[in-house]
Amino acid sequence: GRPSIYPSFLAEGIEYFDFSKIKGREAGRARSDYLDRLGSRINRWLKRYPSGLDPETIEKRKQNRKRILDFFGASLEDWQDYKWHYKHIFRGKDALEKLEKLIMLTEEEKKAIKMATEYRIPFGITPYYLHLMDYEPHRKYDAAVRAQVIPPIHYVENMAKHRQDREYAMDFMGEHDTSPIDLVTRRYPKVAIIKPYDSCPQICVYCQRNWEITGPLEPGAMPSREVLEAALDWYAEHPQIMDVLITGGEPLVLSDQMLERILERFAEMEHITSIRIASRIVVTLPFRVTDETAEMLGSFYEEGRRFIYYVTHVESAYEITPELVEAVKKLRKQGIYVYNQQVFTQWNSRRFETVALRIALKKAGIDPYYCFYPKGKWEHKDYIVPVARIIQERKEEARLLPGIYRTEEPVFNVPRLGKNHLRSWQDHELIMIRPDGRRVYLWHPWEKNIALVNPYIYTDIVSIKMYLDNLKKRGENPEDYQSIWYYY
Ligand code: SF4
């Protein structure tokens, strides 16, 4: 091969040694010294991304919490009560006025929040999540946290433009075409999704279901009992399904009684051997995971028969807090496996940022499961990375961690058909580069070679140049990413 074709970034200036010239213990020592130098460089990069478990961050957040509690005239006891947070979600017309009293916002952030609340674009932040944001708006550490819930102007403008046709125009995954009955989505032979609650305590800007989720904890988000029972009956009539994903929205907003009822129905079905609960509550409002809830969920775990998985969505090490760790501990104590699905966006894709996340996740007792390429939705332009970056991260950053830390699979979602791996040429090919630098890929869906399905063509929403320019605006050195041009 030609190792010199990849411009060095991490090992630049570190002298490599030649195994053909030195042997035995001498070679072993030289290699170990070299790896030490590489390891120190990695540590230097990781220092840029503090986690919510670092003592300085914990201290900072105590002050943030106090500011919020003082503002509402509330107590520490209120803070630990998830229902108190539900009542004080920042949403609607007076959200901006309240937020401005609690954190500093840039002019652009203010404008976007104002527009979002005026045009009734899904927007909401829990007091708990707000306390993860730094007071100053420089986004040095909390960029991924702010970007998660504070929309950019481009997004609100597009959402406003599509107010009438949002339901179809923004359904990238084609869920309208893959739902055999209300509340159920099916893309695979052995798995089906159920969505028993169609809203969340707060809204992620890049939510793939922004075509159906209208706002935080919307009253109409709960289906009628008949609709829910019909969906559950559908599972009973389909012994082909072995794995059910309870998602939404946020299923943990449902009462324990309601969740228990749903789980009881699944437990009656011999063919259901795994139940996954897709929930972001440990990130947005960890106090919702009470001992009773964890115990109830865990009671459906039956060794040798059925497993319960809690699949969450942590985006940055900064979101991993002692409160999250506590909630995860409660679940794990009940025999529930806890996994993470990260969405790889412009806001958590800097060099070694996802490595820092993986380390923080493992410390919290969570295993990385998927790393999603964001859904290719135009309104999410400010979040999407070029395909090349996720592959570069895998090769040049993730690979430097012990295998037990990088257990997730990077995936690209093909409309209607679902997850596509993106590591090899059997999964995708680069077929063209447009004059503006955006690359065009041909995806070979998982179903190809099993059935006659068409490949899917996707054009990078953001070119490598646009991505690097955005990073530069945030203070990154594009040269640190130089080898990205070689990945496709
Ligand atoms: S938690 Fe999931 S369903 Fe809820 S807004 Fe975020 S991405 Fe959408």
**Spacing of C-alpha 105 from chain mean position:** 24
Q: Is residue 343 in contact with ligand 1, taking CB distance under 6 Å?
A: no
DSSP string, 443-459: E--TTBTTB----EEEE
The closest residue, in CA terms, to atom 6 on ligand 1 is 204
Q: Which of 155, 194, 204, 217 to mutate to test the pocket of ligand 1 (most atoms within 8 A of CB)?
A: 204
Q: Is the pLDDT of residue 412 over 70?
A: yes
CA atoms in the 13 A half-sphere facing the CB of 71: 19
Q: Is the pLDDT of residue 333 over 50?
A: yes
Pick the range with the lowest mean pLDDT from 5-14, 56-65, 366-375.
Answer: 5-14
* Structure confidence by residue, pLDDT tens digits, 65-95: 999 999 999 999 999 999 999 999 999 999 9
Average pLDDT over residues 264-282: 98
Average per-residue pLDDT for the chain: 94
- Nearest Cα residue to 332 out of 368, 370, 301, 287: 301
Q: Sheet holding 337-343: strands in order across?
A: 184-185, 191-197, 243-248, 274-278, 307-312, 337-343, 367-372, 409-414, 418-421
Q: Is residue 253 in contact with ligand 1, taking CB distance under 6 Å?
A: no
Ligand 1 centroid distance, CA of 198 (Å):
9
Grade residue 3 by pLDDT with cuts at 50, 70 and 90. low
3-state secondary structure at position 407 = coil
Residue 223 burial (10 A CB sphere; 0-12, 13-18, 19+)? middle
Is this complex's ipTM strictly greater than 0.90?
Answer: yes
The domains located in the chain, with CATH, are 3-46 (no CATH), 55-161 (no CATH), 166-423 (3.20.20.70)
Phi-psi region of 298 (alpha: psi -120 to 50; beta: other; left: phi over 0): alpha
Residue 188 burial (10 A CB sphere; 0-12, 13-18, 19+)? middle
DSSP string, 222-245: SPPHHHHHHHHHHHHT-TT--EEE
Q: Is residue 207 in contact with ligand 1, taking CB distance under 6 Å?
A: yes
Ligand 1 atom, smallest distance to 343 CA:
7
Pick the range with the lowest mean pLDDT from 215-229, 245-259, 307-321.
Answer: 215-229
Average pLDDT over residues 473-488: 95
Q: Is residue 215 in contact with ligand 1, taking CB distance under 6 Å?
A: no
Q: Is residue 280 in contact with ligand 1, taking CB distance under 6 Å?
A: yes
* Structure confidence by residue, pLDDT tens digits, 204-215: 998 877 777 778
Pick the range with the lowest mean pLDDT from 159-173, 313-327, 366-380.
Answer: 159-173
Q: Sheet holding 456-459: strands in order across?
A: 428-433, 439-443, 456-459
Average pLDDT over residues 414-441: 92
3-state secondary structure at position 27 = helix
Distances (CA, A) of 167 to 62, 112, 114, 145, 159: 41, 22, 23, 27, 11
Which DSSP symbol is given to 14? P
Average pLDDT over residues 450-456: 92
The closest residue, in CA terms, to atom 1 on ligand 1 is 280
What is the distance between the alpha carbons of residues 113 and 209, in angstroms, rounded to a whole number? Answer: 20
